[in-house]
Structure formats: structure tokens, C-alpha cells
Amino acid sequence: MYRYAVTLLIALFAGLAGFAGFNALVDPFGIMGSPDLPGLTARDTRLYEDGGRVHVGDQLARGGERGIILGSSRTVDGFPRDPADLPGGFINAGMRGTNIFELSQAAALAAGSDSLHCVVIGLDLDEFGTHSKAKSTYWLSALRDGHADFARARVALSPSTFGASVQLLADNLTGSEPRVPWADTYPAGAQRERYENGTRGIYRFYLGYRFDPERLALFETVLDRLTAEGVQVTGFIHPLHAWREEALFRAGRGDDFLAFRAALTEVFARHAGREPAEACLPGGGAQLYDFSGFRPFAALPAPAADAVNAHPTFYEPSHYLPHVGADMLAVMSGERPRDERVSGERLTPQSLEASARALAARRTAWLATPDGQAVTAMLDAVIAGNPSAELETPQFLNRDDETSVADKLARIAPRAARR
């Protein structure tokens, strides 16, 4: 019996070691530093399969970056991916499907590196809702506890990693690639369908949306600590295509959006006077820009029913193109954007009221256009059908969530050490 038990334990240990070793060698998320094997693992087709959490979390835990650009899939798709196309020292650290809890963790984790001086973070109403807190692979990544070595061990032992490893090998052996959601050309009508279906769906999402003030408070604790230690934080409100923004207003969330915008402005204003140790963008330690609100580049007409060419500024109502993100960075840097239609403004308590009036005027003007009338008719038909709200079980922050952020903030080097 003893020999049988020992043999069983050895077999289990060997199997576990082989499983972890296989995942570490294939390294689908690019965190182990394993060598590329020509024909087997050379093409990193699954690097961002989980939304980028494992890969980005590992990058932030390793440190070494001067600046990071955080945000949801709008940041992933809306800013250049190649660091050579970004300001010096910046990386695109966006993660798909994220929210302010994960983004706060990411900012706190990154700030543990002495090299980090600037955080640019994309924000919108979605990130502050109660509908989600963290995606499944968040718990595998270094975002969870800030410990890169523990995270790599979790990843190596994860069945999710095994699935990605097998897919990576298959991709390399067959030459296949993951499905790419965006293209330069589409079948006739495909892009129009994206706009119509996306707008109908987001209307139902906003019907069930609930803002969580505790998430804003959690984000402010991170903003407060980073700016106190000399890290410059520049927030920006994502642009959305006018079709999506109108769905938000028609779902009764216009006042919520304006209140959120005002609250976010006040949060950044409370920390604006702090001096960054090494600014990457003009301004103080904290500043907020707004690129939302029916602006010309986001109010261009949706693709026609027979269009095949990609829209010039938006993939679909929720996601803008990388050249728009690059121009937004230019605006935040005090430079002229290449596309003159791309505009934004710095929000302060003093400018907020005038900015809200300008937003309302732009919406009124857009609603009078053929594109605005088409969306009005479409949403009228949706509302007439009395659609149900898209409801999810609320996920509220708890003491452990707050503690995990506080633990990362405690590791930030003092401001004096950054100078």
C-alpha cells in the first residue's frame, strides 16, 4: 500500500510538472521568456487571447516603462500597438472588456516601478457600472496580487493556458490566425449591420446600467497616491460614435453621463495642483480631457447599406481607429492632430458648464442630419417594441478588493526617490 501511494504521488507530480512545463515552453501569453520554436511557437497568435490581462499584467509587474496607456478594448484597438508609433517610452497597455477595478489595479501595479512617470488612462461610463468587476484571467495574472513569479506559476498550471497552448501550436502548424474583428473592406452591408446591431444592443445595455460610486472612490485612492508620489496621470473620456451616444441618451442615461463627467472632473481637479516628477504631457500631476459628445470625427455618417470600405474613424459605434488615438495623444500633448476633425478639450470645474452646453448643441445639430434622423427612427422602432433591459447580477467591491489595491499602492517608491 505504501509503495502504491508513493508511486501514485510520483505519477501525479510528474504529470503536473509535465503539464506546467508544456505550458511554460509554448508560452501562449508571452510571459515566460521561452525561446521561439520555428514552425511551432514562433508566431504569437494567442498573446492577447484573454483580452491581454496576463500579458499586460506581466509587462507592468516587470516594470521598465516610462509611460503606459490604459483602458478597455477602445484603447486596445484605438491606439497604435507598436511602441514605435507612440510617444517615447509609452506602451499600449489596454485590456479588452476591462473596468475601473482592473484598471486601478493595473495603474497601482505599474507605479511600483521607479521608471514609470506617466499614466494615460481611458475612461467612460461603462467602466464604472456594477455589471462586472474582473474577468476570469485577471485572477491568473499579476494584476491579482502584484507578484509576477506567483502569476507565472498560476498561468503554467492553468487549463486555460493549456487550451491556448494547443491553439498556438495548431496556428503555427497550419498557418491559421485568430479571427480579426476589423478589416479594411467588408462584404456589402456588413459594416452597416454592425452599426445597427451594435446600437440596438447598447440601448438594452444602458437600460440596465447602474453606476457604482464606490468604484469612482477606489479610482480616486489610486489617483491620489500616484500623483502624491510624482506620477503624472492624464485621464481622457473615450469618444463613441454618435450612434452609440444617442442610444445612451435615448435609454435615459444622458443625465447619468453628464453627472459622471462632472464627478470625474472634480476628482481630477482635486489632484491637479500636484507637481509630476517628470511630466510626459503638458500640465500638472492630474488632468482630464474629454473627446466624447458628438464631435465631428465621431459624428461622421455611418456606412451606407451597400458600403464595402471601412469607416474613416470608427470600426463600429464603440471602437475608434488607431489614427484617432494618435491624434488624441497629439491634442493632449498640445499639438495639432493630423485629422483636423479630431478634437477634445481639457475639463475643469470652470469649463464644465460651457462644455456641457456645447455637447448639447452638437447633439441637436447632429439629430437634424439624415444620419441622426435614421438613428432616431431606428431607436423609435426599438423602443416601441418595449425591449427588456440587459441585466447582470451586480458585482460590488469588497474589503479584499480594496486591500489588493492598497497593497500595490504601498509598494510605490516615494516621490523623493524618483527625482
One-letter amino acid identity for 346?
A: R
Confidence of residue 245 (pLDDT cuts 50, 70, 90): very high
Confirm if 390 and 204 have CB atoms less than 8 A apart: yes
Mean pLDDT, residues 3-27: 87
Instruction: Report how far residue 386's alpha carbon sits from residue 382's, in angstroms, rounded to the nearest whole number.
Output: 7
Q: What is the DSSP letter of 296?
A: G
Residue 97 corresponds to which cell in the numbers above? 472588456
pLDDT for res 55:
97
Q: Indicate yes or no: pTM above 0.85.
A: yes
Residue 8's pLDDT is 75
Confidence (pLDDT) at 367:
98
Please compute the mean of the pLDDT values over residues 226-245 and round it to a whole number: 97
Considering only CA atoms, which of 298, 361, 288, 360 is closest in space to residue 331? 288
* Nearest CA among 181, 233, 227 for reference residue 70: 233
139, 147, 249, 262, 362 from 368: Cα distances, Å: 47, 54, 16, 27, 10
CA angle 91, 93, 99 (to 5 degrees): 155
